[in-house]
Structure 1
Amino acid sequence: MFTIEHEFDATVITLIDEGSVALQEDVTVTAFDDCVTLEQVHPLTQEPMIITLSMAQVQDLAAALNLPEGSYRLEPAAK
């Protein structure tokens, strides 16, 4: 399950782990104009862990989801 909220300066997606086996804490993905953050509360310390990705890293991640094992570099689109 997931939710999507559009705020003033960002789009917020929350991924909710459902099921009966080894559930993980919710993950919040916040997309800003210049970066994307991933946040998850650590189950033992209850402290939030935040990872910030540049837009280039987000593009690489999106491409990587559909590629086989290997090393890649995305080239800028020709104008």
Structure 2
Amino acid sequence: MFTIEHEFDATVVTLVDEAGPHLTEDVVISAFDDCVTVTQVDSRTDMPVTITLSLSQLRDLSMALDLPEGSYRLRKDET
């Protein structure tokens, strides 16, 4: 299950784990004009952990999901 909310400065997607006996905390993805943040509460410390991806890192990640194992570098004209 997931939700999508459009806020003033970001689009926020929340991913809810419903897949079995060992559920993980919700994942919150916030898309801003210049970056994307991914936040999840660490169940051991009960503190949120956030990573920030630049838009080029996000592009690389989306492409990597469909590629075989290896090392890649995109050319400038492949954006």
Normalising by structure 1, we get a TM-score of: 0.93
How far did 1:19 drift?
A: 2.4
RMSD of aligned residue pairs (Cα, Å): 1.1
Moved over 4 A (4+): none
| Counterpart for residue 56 of structure 2 | 56
After TM superposition, the structure 1 = structure 2 runs for residues 5-24 of structure 1, keeping only pairs within 5 Å, are 5-24=5-24
Aligned residues: 78
Whole-Å Cα distance in 2 between the matches of residues 38 and 16 of structure 1? 13
| Counterpart for residue 37 of structure 1 | 37
Equivalent position SS for 2:29: strand
Equivalent position SS for 2:76: coil
Identity %: 62
Q: Which blocks of at least 5 consecutive residues in structure 1 are unaligned?
A: none
Whole-Å Cα distance in 2 between the matches of residues 20 and 59 of structure 1? 30
Q: Which blocks of at least 5 consecutive residues in structure 2 are unaligned?
A: none
Whole-Å Cα distance in 2 between the matches of residues 72 and 21 of structure 1? 37
